[in-house]
Amino acid sequence: MQSNLNVLLHTTIGDLIRQHREEANLSLSQLAHQSGVDKAGISRIERGETKRPELRTVQLLADVLGIPYEVYVSHYIDVEQRPDVLHDMLMEAIRLAHVPLISKVVLRFLESPQKDSYDLIEQLFHTTINITNREMKLELLKHIIDFSRNHGIQTYFSKGILHKYLIERDDFSKLDSTYHAGKNIIQYENFLSYEEKILLYYKLGVHAYVLRLYKDCIELCEQVIRNDTTDSFFKAEAFFALCNSHYYLCDYTRAKHYLEEYSKFSFPNVAENVRFMTGSINGKIGNTELAVTQLESFLERSSEYNFMNVVVALMELYLEKKDLIAIEKLLSYEMRITQTEIRTPYKRFALAYFHRLKGDYLIYSKVTITAFESYIKSACEYIKVSMYSQAFECLGFVTNKAIENGNIELYKDVLQKMNSMYSMLSKPN
């Protein structure tokens, strides 16, 4: 049957219908009865008198005859010029997730002489941004970008590369490369809408923060605050990112300033984030006992959104105080932490850091092999968010400690696991 279909691709719609009807041993009357299409209409299609039958009519016949959509629609692509019909074909190809067919229909749609190129690309863009399937969306964005570039339609070229970036940045394994691709979009910001500019700077700012490019994050989030004239969620989160970036740059005065600005917003998690960062900042400026009290009182009441962050912050403080009993109590939450759904790169980083701190505690407690296992888990999580230097640091610590202890044979299993980790690091995605 497959060879027959390959031949049928080179025949008319009428030949396609007739041959499939004869193979199914159906008469014109039987096909008319089962499809709801008038017998005389079917006859005219088969004899070629109806040169371009309506797509809906052919769909009804094809459903009865079992003709795949991509087979009969291929006949339309080369001859159809009506953008509305081609758009309908495209929506069906998207529903079927048929990428090769999508490409063919899109190219034909954009070449339609019955509508201005700008209007066609605008319609395709609005169709694309409402699609939920990631692969289909990227395929359409690729065509929007290529067509807009080749035809000098800067507005939709800019919108296309922005939305492509917004999808691809969610691939945690390629955070570095997608960040640099995203920053290139800034040169086209004048072709974006006000809302799109804010979105671009906010997403890039958060992206920079995840990559620990704190100075970049500050520069980008300041753009959000300068340009956003509303009290939007993006503006609120930009203040919080500024607070966090200054915190990690050890500028706790500015961190407190931006935390105060952030506290003026009433979005979900704001009050909780403020409580967490207040305790964290106190820990960094020497108010250790106050920080521990604040974070301990917050621990059981924090949501899943902040729970892992609070545990990690407390572990840092307990290690500083050498409070091993308190750390042991924190480790009772390990299962809850490791079972947390990881939706953001920052959460992945927090999980990696938790394993790193646990390794530090175990080394101090002289539970060496278990500590090594924890460092390896940490490295694995760091790799998932492209934090290769942190992963190398964890693995290097294991190697150095094993050599220092002088009994390599004892750590053979651990070192074998490390070999596979180094292999992953040598071929980052």
Half-sphere exposure for 58 (CA within 13 Å, toward CB): 27
Q: From residue 400, give the alpha-carbon distance in Å to each of 39, 403, 404.
A: 83, 5, 6
Count CB-CB contacts under 10 A for residue 176: 17
Stretch 102-117: mean pLDDT:
91
Q: Which amino acid is at 167?
A: I
pLDDT at residue 7 is higher than 70: no
pLDDT-based confidence at 77, cuts 50/70/90? confident
Instruction: Please state, in angstroms and rounded to a whole number, the distance separating the CA atoms of residues 106 and 112.
Output: 10
Largest CA distance in the chain: 91
pLDDT-based confidence at 412, cuts 50/70/90? low
pLDDT for 242? 98
CB 80 within 8 A of CB 49: no
Instruction: Please state, in angstroms and rounded to a whole number, the distance separating the CA atoms of residues 222 and 228.
Output: 10
> 238-250: string of b/e by CB count within 10 Å (b at 16+)?
bbbbbbbbbbeee
Stretch 71-99: mean pLDDT:
84
Instruction: Please state, in angstroms and rounded to a whole number, the distance separating the CA atoms of residues 173 and 66.
Output: 42
Count CB-CB contacts under 10 A for residue 63: 12
CB 401 within 8 A of CB 360: no
pLDDT-based confidence at 10, cuts 50/70/90? very low
Q: From residue 175, give the alpha-carbon distance in Å to each of 109, 351, 365.
A: 34, 17, 36
Q: Which amino acid is at 102?
A: I
**Per the structure block, which two tokens stand in for 355?**
């394993």
In the 8-state DSSP scheme, what is residue 169? T
CB 61 within 8 A of CB 69: no
> In this structure, what is the dihedral angle of CA atoms 251, 230, 160, 175, given to the nearest 10 degrees?
20
Cβ burial of 382 (10 Å; 0-12, 13-18, 19+) is buried
**Which phi and psi (to 5°) does residue 322 adopt?**
60, 35
Residues 230-279 have pLDDT tens digits of 999 999 999 999 999 999 999 999 999 999 999 999 999 999 999 999 99
Instruction: Please state, in angstroms and rounded to a whole number, the distance separating the CA atoms of residues 360 and 98.
Output: 51
Residue indicated by tokens 């917004």: 166
pLDDT for 369? 85
CB 294 within 8 A of CB 283: no
pLDDT at residue 5 is higher than 50: no
Fold designation for 1-79: 434 Repressor (Amino-terminal Domain) (1.10.260)
Residues 18-36 have pLDDT tens digits of 999 999 999 999 999 999 9
Instruction: Please state, in angstroms and rounded to a whole number, the distance separating the CA atoms of residues 24 and 265.
Output: 67
**Per the structure block, which two tokens stand in for 277?**
């960062």
Stretch 214-222: mean pLDDT:
98
> In this structure, what is the dihedral angle of CA atoms 204, 206, 207, 208, given to the nearest 10 degrees?
90
Give whichever of 246-250, 385-389, 422-426 has the largest mean pLDDT: 246-250
Per-domain boundaries in the chain:
1-79, 81-168, 345-429
Sign of the dihedral defined by the CA atoms of residues 313, 319, 325, 327, in that order = positive
CB 352 within 8 A of CB 371: no
Residue indicated by tokens 């760091």: 382
